[in-house]
Amino acid sequence: MNYYCCTCPAWRNQSAHPVSACTCKHLCSLLGDAYEESRLKLKNPNDPAVPTTTT
């Protein structure tokens, strides 16, 4: 397995995204928002639904 996963419903119900590009508040809390955003862009670069943070 080369992706992060969570047992919460929010992670499990993201069927529109590849498994490697799913996230939830638990992963964001564990890994950090900046890392999680970068990971999602890397795993699914053409998805317009990938959140972007503005500073």
The answer on pLDDT for 39 being more than 60 is: yes
The mean per-residue pLDDT over the stretch 17-36 comes to 91
Check residue 21 and give its pLDDT.
Answer: 87
Q: What pTM does this model have?
A: 0.72
Domain of residue 12 covers 1-55
CA distances from 29 to 3, 10, 51 (A): 16, 14, 15
Averaged pLDDT of the chain: 84
The mean per-residue pLDDT over the stretch 27-41 comes to 92
**Structural domain count, the chain:** 1
Check residue 50 and give its pLDDT.
Answer: 62
**44 touches 17 (CB < 8 A):** yes
* Residue 55's pLDDT band (cuts 50, 70, 90): very low
**11 touches 25 (CB < 8 A):** no
